[in-house]
Amino acid sequence: MLLLLGAGLLFSSIVMALCIVGVLTSERRAVARSVAAVQAMNAAPAVIADELERPFMERVIAPLGGRLVGVGRKITRADTAQKIAHRLDIAGNPPAWDVNRIIGLKVLGLGVLGVLGFLFALSRGEAFDRVVIYTAGFAAFGYVLPNLLLKNAGDKRETLMRNALPDAIDLLTISVEAGLGFDAAVARVAKNTSGPLAQEFSRLLQEMQLGIGRAEAMRAMGERTSLPDLKSFCLAMVQADSLGIPIARVLRIQSHEMRTKRRQRAEEAAQKVPVKILFPVIFFILPTIFIVVIGPVFLSMGDLFGSQ
């Protein structure tokens, strides 16, 4: 027994010694690796250090976005970039939006929503053909979603411009008839009004101040929008400038036409109201009225026949 006890103690001491040596060795190795990493960082070139100090968005996200834009330009038509640029002009060129970003978002939406559609179809246990349909449908929606958002932003902006155009032309007319030049009148309109129309007049004034002719600046203003009233105003001003017609008279006629069109649009919207409220009245309001009016009668009849 004493011999076995001594052998066990000897074996335990050897194991403990080996563990202590292993721990010390691993700690030394870890310290050595840390020191080597610090030395490598100190010895690294300045370019690598600068690259590591750059934000994550610039090091990873920006190159990924560039690849998405490259893929998007390959799978889209040649005139897609031009159409997107025109839609951006209609939307007022939002600060965070440009052609490359829209193309990259289209590709990103195509891939992300396509994968989501595929996973959704698999989770429902659909057949292979339905999986393909779900994937293609979700991917197509993701591809056109940036266009829909861009179009929605442009429609909202043009609605604001259409509502503010008659008042802006009135102020322009009064300023010109008071003796101001056309450039000064445009500056007054851009200063005393707000909204997207004021931004367009500010851009028109900046282009004329940079040396672009009035006719060319007005044509560019008409091309940046799809609003018929603003296009008509720009065309009238170009014709007046080329034919030598007094600007005040043209502005007075344009102001009268804009107000007439706005009144006609209001009358048209008022005429559409009865048609729009027809279905809510039939399916929601009339059934409720029938329940409130006729319901007690049926309850009373039920109580009367039940008592008999």
Sequence ranges of the domains in the chain: 57-157, 158-266
228 to 137, 144, 159: CA distances (angstroms): 34, 26, 11
Residues 202 and 92: beta-carbon distance below 8 Å: no
Q: What is the pLDDT of residue 23?
A: 43
74 to 25, 70, 82, 249: CA distances (angstroms): 56, 6, 15, 51
Name the burial class of residue 285, with classes exposed (0-12), middle (13-18) and buried (19+) by CB atoms within 10 angstroms of its CB: exposed
Q: What is the pLDDT of residue 40?
A: 53
Q: What is the pLDDT of residue 47?
A: 46
Section 80-92 average pLDDT: 85
202 to 90, 91, 209, 211: CA distances (angstroms): 15, 16, 10, 15
Q: What is the pLDDT of residue 96?
A: 75
Q: What is the pLDDT of residue 54?
A: 56
Please tell me what DSSP assigns to residue 282: I
Section 221-230 average pLDDT: 87
Mean pLDDT of the chain: 78
Contacts of 212 (CB under 8 A, 6+ apart): 220
